[in-house]
Structure 1
Amino acid sequence: MQAIKVVGLSKNYEKFVAVDNITFNVEQGDFFGFIGPNGAGKTTTIKSMLGLLQPNQGKVQLLGEDITKNTFQQDLGYIPGEANLYDNLKVGEQIRYFAHYYKSIDQGYLKQLKQTFEINENKKIGELSLGNKKKVAIICSLMNKPKLLVFDEVSNSLDPLMQKALFDELIRLNKKGVTIFYSSHNLEEVQTYCKNVAIIRSGKIIKIDSVEKIVASVGVQVTIKTKDMLDELFLAQHKVQPTVLASGAITFVYKGNINALIHSIAKHHLSSIRIADVKLENIFEEYYRGDEQ
Structure 2
Amino acid sequence: MPTTEQLGPILNDWRTVLGDNATAGAEFEGRELWPVTATDGRCYFLKRLGPWRNLPLADEFRVLRHLAARGILVAEYLITDRARLYAGAIEDSYVLMPRLAESRLDRRAVLALEPVIGAAVADLHAALAGHPWPVASYHEDIVGNLRRELDLPPDLAEAYEARRDRVIDDLTGLPEQLIHGDLTIDNVLLGDVIAFIDLDHLPYGLRLWDLAKYLSRRLRCPASEAAEALPHLSRFLSGYQQRSPLSAAELAAFPSLIIGAGVIEISYLRQVLSGALERRRLPDHERTLWATVEALRWQLDDHDSIAEAVRST
TMscore range, shorter length: under 0.3
Greater helix share, structure number: 2
Larger radius of gyration: 1
Structure that is richer in strand per residue: 1
Give the TM-score of the pair, scaled to structure 1. Answer: 0.26
TM-score, normalising length from structure 2?
Answer: 0.25
